[in-house]
Each structure stands twice: as C-alpha cells, then as structure tokens.
Amino acid sequence: MKNKLLLILSVLFAAVLVLGACGSTDDESSDDQTDQDTEQNDDATGDEGSSDEEEGSSDFSLAMVTDEGGVDDRSFNQSAWEGIEAFAMDNGLERGTGYDYAESQNAADFLPNFNNLVNQNYQLIFGVGYQLANAVEQVASQNPDGHFSIIDEVVEGDNIASVTFAEEQGSFLVGVAAALKSESQNIGFVGGVTSPLIKRFEVGFVAGAKSVNPDIEVQVQYAESFADEGLGRSIANNMYSSGADVIYHASGATGLGVFTEARNRVENDPEAGVWVIGVDRDQYEQGQQGDMNVTLTSMVKRVDVAVQEVAARAMNGDFPGGEHLVLGIEDDAIAIAETNTEAYTEEIKAAVAEWQEKLLSGEVVAPQTDDELEEFVNNL
C-alpha cells in the first residue's frame, strides 16, 4: 500500500512539472510573437514619434551676403533677407544654424563673408547684388560641392544660379507715372553706382516718361554709392531746387536720403508738391510725414520671391546651377506699388495698366542702354 501511494505521488509531481513547463513555453512564445509583431508594424509604418520629428525639421541651410547697403537698407538687401526669413519660417529653419546673413560694410568684406559662411557649412549662399560677382565666382570655384546664387548679375559656373530682373520694364512704368504726376514736367533720377544694371533703371524710366511727354526734362545723377544717405539727400535737394517735382531712385540706402529731403520739404511747406518713387520693395513707409506721404509709388522687384524659388529648388534637389533666370512682369516679379491711393490716382493707375499691356504684348520694348533709348525716343 505504501509503495502504491509513493507511485501515485511521483506521477502527480511529474505531471505538475510538465504542465508548468508547458505554461512557461506558451507565455514566452506569446511575448516573442508580440515583439515580432511590433517590430513588423514599425518596419511597415515607421515609428510615429520619430516621423513627426522628421517632418518638423530640415537639415537644409541657406545664407546671404549683403552688398555695402546693409541688410536693413529698406530696399534690395532687405527684400532678399525677407525672402530668406519667409523660406526659413515655412521650413522650420532656425537662425544661426538653418539660415543667416553676413553684412558687408564695403567690397573688402565680400569674400571673407562668403568664406565664413562656407566654413559654417551653409548649403546655399546668395550674393545679393552685382557687386558681389567676383567674390561669388571665386568662392564657387574653390568650393565646387557648394551651391551659390548671384542676384542681379550673371556668373558662369555649374554650381552658380544667376538671377536677374527686367528692371527696365518696371522703370518704364514708373516713368509713365512720374510724367503724369509732374506739374513742372521736370523729373529726376538718382542712381547708385554707375553700371549696366542701374543704367537699365535709368533709361527705362526716361523712356516711360517721354512716352507720355517727349519734351519732359529728366535730371540724372549718380551717387557712385549705395550707402551714402547724406549724398542722396544732397542730390535730391539740388534736383528739387532745379525744378524737379518727382524723383525716382535706384540707389539702395543712398535713396533714403532722397526720402529725407522730400519729407523735410513737405514738413516745412505742406504745399511743396514733391514726390519720390521708391525701388525694389514698396517704400511707402519711407515717405510718411505727418498726415502726408511723399511716396508716389515704387518699382517693386520681388527679390524675395527669387530667393525663395532658388532655395526651394535647391532643397528639393533641383538646384538650377549653371542657369540664368530672368524674371519680369509676366512672372509677377516686377510690379508697381499702388499703396498711396491719394497720390497714385485712378487716372495714373489706368494709364500704367495700358502701357503694361503694351510691354507684355511686345508692342513696346523698354530700352536697356543709352543707344536703345536714343533710338526709342527718336521713334516717338
């Protein structure tokens, strides 16, 4: 009896061990299968948290080097910087790592500024202004794997995107506006540094004005600087004193002096009847003097749009290296500001629209050089 009892207990103990072993194996297999399923799901769909992080960031970076006018010239450089800021905001880039600028006080700063940004590993670097052409060409040749872009000039290179604008078109249209607004039929043009680029502003402006009145007088003077506000004011003072009542400037920060002179005259005499035409961006704010505003209109050159277009293509792997992009009215890259509705009347607005259609259709071709201007005027 005793032996039989021991046999039963032995069998029961063995059964417990077998059941325990089976239970443990099932649990481990279940856990392993869960881990495998999780890994398979991760492989198929990606980790949700990691995906969100990748969508909210970008390793693309861009920067710009200003010309001597500085980043806050309320004109050309500022427009380019606003384009970079807008692009950075749209793509989650942080200042100092994803985007930045280097400000040039003079031409000697151009190349060191480029090299500094290259050393910081910015993937796309803009040179803002034709004066930076030599620096862009040199730094691009020394860094063939980098991407560079020059605004307002054409520089050859497989890793350089050149962007220019049809400034003569917009300048022609503000010339029309100036001639229609002028009571003295005496207007002025203030240029920055003499160059083929600024010449396009000048001759386009003269052609537009003379299309309205072939006998209108146009005073022209170059400051030979984009950064001398005092000289800009002095030139404007001489022109207004010589009978001009509308001045168009294409001179960067130098042009701020033109606004200062016009505002000062209106402050001293609200009936002075002097006007300024801004450039590159809508410079309406620069003309505010009390309840009056001396900014008739502005020839808006959408440098910000150009910068964003080149940046987007570079980020998407389609950098237009070796290409020359020319942007005009038909690209919405050249426009005429209509902010000052009191000064820029419906009559002027309608006339400018008519001439714009003639430019777009090819009926009228705005001149770009002195020779083309002479031929244009002779055919009026």
Q: Tell me whether strands 186-191 and 246-250 are parallel, antiparallel or unpaired.
A: parallel
- Band of residue 131 on the pLDDT scale cut at 50, 70, 90: very high
Q: Taking residues 213-236, what's their average pLDDT? A: 97
Provide the residue type at 308 as one letter.
Answer: Q
- Ordered DSSP codes for 181-203: H-SSSEEEEEESS-SHHHHHHHH
135-148 pLDDT, tens digit per residue, is: 999 999 999 999 99
Evaluate if residue 54 carries a pLDDT over 60.
no
Given this model, what pLDDT does residue 136 score? 98
The pTM of this model reads 0.78
Q: Are residues 243 and 372 in the same domain?
A: yes
Given this model, what pLDDT does residue 10 score? 46
Q: Where does a domain end: 165, 200, 222? A: 165
Q: Are residues 280 and 356 in the same domain?
A: yes
Q: Where does a domain end: 107, 130, 165? A: 165
Q: How many domains does the chain have?
A: 2
Q: Closest by alpha carbon to 288, among 243, 249, 253, 340?
A: 340
- Band of residue 58 on the pLDDT scale cut at 50, 70, 90: low
239-266 pLDDT, tens digit per residue, is: 999 999 999 999 999 999 999 999 999 9
| Distance, CA of 151 to chain centre | 9
Q: Are residues 182 and 288 in the same domain?
A: yes
- Residue 196's domain is classified under what CATH number? 3.40.50.2300
Q: By the 8 A CB rule, do 274 and 240 touch?
A: yes
Q: Is 19 among the domain residues?
A: no
Q: Are residues 180 and 272 in the same domain?
A: yes
Taking residue 144's Cβ as centre, other Cβ atoms within 10 Å add up to 9
Q: Are residues 159 and 238 in the same domain?
A: no
Provide the residue type at 46 as one letter.
Answer: G
Given this model, what pLDDT does residue 259 score? 98
Nearest-angstrom CA–CA distance, 263 and 285: 11
Share of the chain above pLDDT 70, in %: 85
Q: Is residue 300 within a helix (H) or strand (E), and if so which, with residue range? A: strand 295-301
191-208 pLDDT, tens digit per residue, is: 999 999 999 999 999 999
| Residue 116 CB partners (closer than 8 Å, separation 6+) | 102
Q: Are residues 173 and 148 in the same domain?
A: no
| Alpha helix segments (H runs only) across the chain | 2-45, 48-55, 76-90, 110-119, 133-142, 167-181, 196-212, 229-241, 256-268, 303-315, 346-361, 370-378
Q: Is 294 among the domain residues?
A: yes
Nearest-angstrom CA–CA distance, 200 and 301: 13
Q: Is 66 among the domain residues?
A: yes
Q: Are residues 131 and 221 in the same domain?
A: no
Q: Which of 14-18, 31-35, 153-157 has the highest mean pLDDT?
A: 153-157
What six digits make up the tokens of 175? 């010339």
Given this model, what pLDDT does residue 295 score? 98
343-353 pLDDT, tens digit per residue, is: 999 999 999 99
What six digits make up the tokens of 29? 């297999």
Q: By the 8 A CB rule, do 200 and 171 touch?
A: yes
For residues 34 and 261, the model is more confident at: 261
What six digits make up the tokens of 60? 């693309």
Given this model, what pLDDT does residue 40 score? 39
Given this model, what pLDDT does residue 69 score? 82
Q: Where does a domain end: 103, 131, 165? A: 165
Share of the chain above pLDDT 90, in %: 82
For residues 304 and 52, the model is more confident at: 304
Domain assignment of residue 349, given as a range? 167-300+345-378
